[in-house]
Amino acid sequence: MFNSCQVHHMFRIWRKVKRFADQLPGELQGFSDLYPAKNCMETLVIAATSLEIGPFLDRIGSLDNRPEVLITGVGLTASTCALTRYLATHRPECIIQAGIAGSFDPAITPGEVLLVGRDRIADQGVFENGEWKDTMDMGFTPANESPYTDGWLVNPWGFPNPGGLRLADAISVNQVSTNPQLISEFRRKYNPSLESMEGAALHFVAISEKIPFVQVRAVSNYVGERDKSRWDIKNAVIALNKVLPELLSQQQSVRP
């Protein structure tokens, strides 16, 4: 059996060979026929769970330009895996990620919908001596090596903004933040407005693959609040699914 590094190395070699074969005269391009070209479409809509885009899924059959939909699963690992596997055989013109999020900002109330301009993986590091250090602080991840810009995964493409939604900075974590010290450190270091568990995965993959994207989030709760009775998932989902069709209809303005 091959390990993951060997498989990755062989795939890189295959891609180089295929690019060479694609440049050959028509009668010599038999190699390209061994593997079909990527299926191109206009838009891919992704979400961690079907719950978050349930109303949209209910009406998707009535849309004129029906998008592809991918439910990735919850968390950075599941989202990255699902999206990269999908992109191995498909090449969308735009990816829209829709989901709910927690708010760090008391001025951003549950039910509000925002667009995320930049995101980052916040909980990859170490908490010691009362201070949070991420892998960039530790020197393991270059802060300005692609796809990063000053430590952030910044959406470099213009995107539609129906209704003048607020633009937010977000962080992505592998756990729902409940530790007061850690939440305080996230505020101090990153000053984010939103927290999700998948956003940075979209930004990382889409920037790396040079595919325009939009991340849209509806606030369901305040970060640190574990009393589910004070969450408002229902109205967050309703608000999110009102905006999603508008984003989809305007996606033609999203260009590299």
Q: What pLDDT, on the 0 to 100 scale, is given for residue 43?
A: 92
Number of domains in the chain: 2
**Nearest-10 Cα torsion for 242, 195, 92, 149:** 130
Same domain, 139 and 234: yes
b/e 139-156 (16+ beta carbons within 10 angstroms → b) = eeeeeeeebbeebbbbbe
Same domain, 6 and 28: yes
Same domain, 153 and 245: yes
Contacts of 238 (CB under 8 A, 6+ apart): 55
Same domain, 95 and 221: yes
Same domain, 63 and 15: no
Same domain, 5 and 51: no
Same domain, 14 and 88: no
Cα 91 to Cα 42, 64, 69, 148, 190: the distances in Å are 9, 20, 13, 22, 32
Same domain, 21 and 51: no
E strand or H helix at 200: helix 199-209
CA 104 to CA 176: how far, in whole Å?
A: 12
Q: What pLDDT, on the 0 to 100 scale, is given for residue 28?
A: 33
CA 37 to CA 62: how far, in whole Å?
A: 29
DSSP for 101-162, please give it: EEES-TTS-TT-EEEEEEE-B-SSEEEETTEEEETTTTTSS-TTSTT-BTTBEE--S----T
Of the candidates 97, 90, 98, the residue with the CA atom closest to the CA atom of residue 42: 90
| Residue 124 structural domain | 38-253
Q: What pLDDT, on the 0 to 100 scale, is given for residue 41?
A: 59
Same domain, 20 and 31: yes
Of the candidates 177, 173, 174, 167, the residue with the CA atom closest to the CA atom of residue 216: 167
Token reading at 170? 């977000």
Of the candidates 76, 92, 79, the residue with the CA atom closest to the CA atom of residue 38: 92
Predicted TM-score of the model (pTM): 0.80
CATH code, domain with 168: 3.40.50.1580
pLDDT along the chain (256 residues), means of 10: 40 42 41 38 92 94 86 97 97 96 95 97 88 90 94 89 90 86 91 97 98 96 86 96 89 50
Same domain, 99 and 208: yes
* β-sheet bridge partners, residue 168: 116
Same domain, 28 and 61: no
Same domain, 24 and 47: no
* End-to-end Cα separation, the chain, in angstroms: 39
If you search the block for the tokens 């999206």, which residue do you land on?
83
